Amino acid sequence: MVLKDMLLYPNSVSVPLMTNFGVPPEPQGMVKVTLTKIENLKTTDLLTKGDPYVVFEIREGRVQRSKTVKSSNNPVFNQEFFMVVDDFQQQKLSIKVYDYDRLCPTDDLLGTAEVFFSEEAIESDPATGGEKVAYHLADWIKSPMSEKRLVLPLHMAGGGLLKAVSKGIAKTATGATGAMKRLVSMKSSGSSPDMSGKTIIMVAKTAKEVRLEEERKAAAEAAAAAQKEAAEKAAAAQKASTSGSSSAEAAAAAAAAAARVPKAAEAWSEEDEKALWAEWKRLADEKKAAAAAEVKRRKALTKEQREAEDAAKKAAEEAAKKAEEEIVLVEQEVVLRGNGSTAVEGTKPVDMMHITLQYMPFEHPTFDDDIELTPVKGGFAQYVPFTPPKPRQFISNINDFQRGLLTVTIFKASKLATPGSLTNPDAYVEMLLVDCDPRRPSETQKTSVKLNDNTPRWCETFDFVMISAGSVLTLSVKNKTGILDATLNLKLSKSRFQDQLLGKLQIPVADVARNGHLKDTWPLLEAESGTLEMKLSWSNCHVEQYMD
C-alpha cells in the first residue's frame, strides 16, 4: 500500500540490479611490477630443472605473463609489467609461478604469493564505542613513484602432496618423487601459507538490528529442524512400508510426515480450498469483531479518559522506539586477511621471489580555459569554457606517443582450419604488441587453450597498460602441438614441437585510439579460413609528469 500511494501512473522507480548500475569504477592508477629473480625454486621434477614463468593479476581475468626461463631453478627475469588498479581495498596483486610443460595440456603450479594494497586493522569507533575493521593504504601507495622492494616466499598451491604427486605421475615417472621432495623442502624451510586467524570484535548495533537478526536466526533454525524431522519421519515411513510392516508406529510416522510436508499445487482438492477459504473468513471476522469492540469501548470512555489513553499509548510507542534505537555492543567474528608475506627467520630461504613495486596514479588534466562559468546581469555567461576530451572520444589528430590503456576482449574464433590434419585444433590466441617507443619492449599475452574445437569461445579480457597510440597489435591464432602430434610428425628437427599457425591479423592501435572502441569480426590472414571476433577499447592515461 505504501508503494501504491507513492507511485502515479506512468511514473516508475528504477532499481539497480548491480552496484553503480554495472558501470565499472574509475581506474585509480597503475602498478609497475619489476620482476627480478626467483631463488631456490623447487619443481615437481627430480632429475631435471624446471622451466618457470610468472603470472601477475590485479583485475580479475586480466593477467600479465613473464617470459619462460628454460632449465633453471634460479631464474632471472628482469622484466617490467604495468597493471591497472581500480580499488585498493577489494583488489590485490596475485602472483603465480608455473612450470612450463610443452607435452602436457596444463602447466604445474609451483607456488603463489599475494601483495595487498591496503592493510587491515581493528580500531575503536569513537562514535559508537565499538570496534571496526579499518583499511589503511600501504606506504608505497601513499607515496607515488616510490619504489618498494619485496622478497616474497612462494606458498605451495592448495591440494598438498596428493595433488602434486598425482600431477607428477601423470607427467613423468620421476614427478611423484619430485613432488615429495618439494613438499619436504617447504616444510623444512618453514615456508607455509599465511593463514589468517579469526578474531572476535565488539560491533555497535541497534537493539532493533539485534532483535531482527535473532528472529531470522531462530526462524532459519526452526525451518531447518522441521525439514530434518520431516525427512527423518518420511524415511522411516518409507523403510517401514518397504519392509511390509503395518504397525501403528509406522502409520503414525507416515501421517506425521505427510502432515509436515506441504502439498503440491496440483494435489489440492476442492475440499481443501473450501477449508482454506473458511479459515481465512474466520480470521477476518474475528479481526473485524475485535475492531468493532474496540470502537465501542472507546465510545464509552470520556474525553479525558481517551486523551489519557492516547497519551499513554504514544509514550509507550516512543519508549519502545527509543529502546530499539539504543546502541548495544555485540560480539562478531571476523577473519582478517594477511597483510603481506615475510621470510621466516633462521631458516634456509626456499622459493624466494624478488620484485619491486611502484605506484603511478592517473592524473585528470586541467586546462587554462577550463574555468567555471560566471553569470552576468543579462543571464548569459561571460564566455564558454573549453571542454577537455573525454577518455573515450573520437579524436582525429591522435599523437602516436600519447600514452593509454588498450583493453582487448577476445570473444571467439570461427571456422578454423588445420592444414594437414583431420582433427580440430587446440586453439589459442597469442597477442604481440610492438610499441613505437623504442624504450619500451614488446609485450606478449596469450589466451587459454581450447581443446579440439574449430569454433573456440574464450570471452577473455587483456590489458596493455601505458602503451603508445602508435603501437601495432598482432594477433596470431595457433594450434598447440601435443605429445601425439609431435610423435607422429616425421620431421626430426625441433620445429615439430612448434605450435602451428592457423592465421593472424594486425591492428594499428591508432585506429582504436581515434574511435575510442572497435568491435567487429576480422578475417584471418595467411589462413585457409577463419575469423576472429573481438572488442578493443582505448583510454588515455595522463601520467606524463611521472614519465621520462
Question: Which helix or strand (DSSP H or E) is residue 205 part of?
Answer: strand 198-206
Q: Quote the radius of gyration of the chain (alpha carbons, Å).
A: 34
Rounded Cα gap, residues 467 and 191, in angstroms:
38
Rounded Cα gap, residues 209 and 205, in angstroms:
6
DSSP 474-540: EEEEEE---HHHHHH----SGGGGSPEEEEEEEEEHHHHHHHSEEEEEEEPBSSSS-EEEEEEEEEE
Identify whether the C-beta of residue 190 lies closer than 8 Å to the C-beta of residue 343.
Answer: no
Distance of CA 519 to the CA centre of its chain: 25
Cell numbers placing 323: 529502546
Residues 6+ apart with CB under 8 A from 36: 76, 77, 78, 354, 355, 356
Tell me the CA end-to-end span of the chain in Å, nearest whole number.
64
Residues linked to residue 356 through DSSP beta bridges, in sequence order: 34, 149
**Secondary structure (3-state) at 368:** coil
Give the pLDDT score at 195. Answer: 43
Would you tell me how many other CB atoms lie within 10 Å of the CB of residue 314?
Answer: 10
Residues 6+ apart with CB under 8 A from 337: 116, 120, 196
For residue 271, the 8-state DSSP code is H
Rounded Cα gap, residues 512 and 523, in angstroms:
18
**Secondary structure (3-state) at 354:** strand
Would you tell me how many other CB atoms lie within 10 Å of the CB of residue 77?
Answer: 21
Q: What are phi and psi of 260, to 5 degrees?
A: -80, -25
Rounded Cα gap, residues 509 and 431, in angstroms:
13
User: Is residue 160 left, alpha or beta, with left meaning phi > 0 and alpha meaning psi from -120 to 50?
Assistant: left
pTM for this structure? 0.63
Cell numbers placing 13: 522507480
User: pLDDT tens digits, the chain, 548 residues: what are they?
Assistant: 555 555 555 556 667 777 666 666 778 889 999 999 999 988 877 677 889 999 999 998 888 999 999 999 999 999 999 999 999 988 999 999 999 887 676 888 999 999 999 888 888 888 777 888 888 899 999 998 899 999 999 887 544 443 443 444 334 433 434 444 444 444 444 433 344 457 888 888 888 888 888 899 999 999 899 888 888 888 887 777 776 545 555 555 555 555 544 554 445 678 878 888 899 999 999 999 999 999 999 888 888 998 999 999 999 999 988 888 888 888 888 777 655 444 433 334 567 999 999 998 887 554 444 444 444 444 444 444 444 444 444 455 678 888 889 999 999 999 999 887 788 899 999 999 999 988 888 899 999 999 999 999 999 999 999 899 999 999 999 998 866 565 555 555 555 568 889 999 999 999 999 888 899 999 999 998 999 999 999 988 877 554 44
Cβ-based burial of 351 (10 A; exposed 0-12, middle 13-18, buried ≥19) = buried
Going by C-alpha positions, the residue among 421, 426, 512 that lies closest to residue 473 is 512
Rounded Cα gap, residues 57 and 91, in angstroms:
10
Identify whether the C-beta of residue 50 lies closer than 8 Å to the C-beta of residue 68.
Answer: no
Give the pLDDT score at 396. Answer: 59
Going by C-alpha positions, the residue among 187, 499, 158, 227 that lies closest to residue 348 is 187
Residues linked to residue 204 through DSSP beta bridges, in sequence order: 329
Would you tell me how many other CB atoms lie within 10 Å of the CB of residue 223?
Answer: 10
For residue 21, the 8-state DSSP code is G
Give the pLDDT score at 247. Answer: 56
Question: Which helix or strand (DSSP H or E) is residue 208 part of?
Answer: helix 207-242
Give the pLDDT score at 164. Answer: 41
Give the pLDDT score at 378. Answer: 44
Would you tell me how many other CB atoms lie within 10 Å of the CB of residue 337?
Answer: 13
**Secondary structure (3-state) at 204:** strand
Identify whether the C-beta of residue 21 lies closer than 8 Å to the C-beta of residue 81.
Answer: no
Rounded Cα gap, residues 178 and 233, in angstroms:
53
Q: What are phi and psi of 169, to 5 degrees?
A: -65, -40
Q: Provide, for the chain, the percentages of residues in helix, strand and coil under a 3-state DSSP scheme, each rounded to the nearest 5.
A: 30, 30, 40
Identify whether the C-beta of residue 401 lies closer than 8 Å to the C-beta of residue 540.
Answer: no
Rounded Cα gap, residues 161 and 336, in angstroms:
27
Identify whether the C-beta of residue 414 lies closer than 8 Å to the C-beta of residue 427.
Answer: no
Identify whether the C-beta of residue 46 lies closer than 8 Å to the C-beta of residue 178.
Answer: yes
Residues linked to residue 260 through DSSP beta bridges, in sequence order: none
- Residue ranges and CATH numbers for the domains of the chain are 21-193+337-360 (2.60.40.150), 403-546 (2.60.40.150)
Residue type, 41: L
Name residue, grid cell 607428477. Answer: 168
Residues 6+ apart with CB under 8 A from 334: 133, 198, 199, 200, 201
Question: Which helix or strand (DSSP H or E) is residue 194 part of?
Answer: none
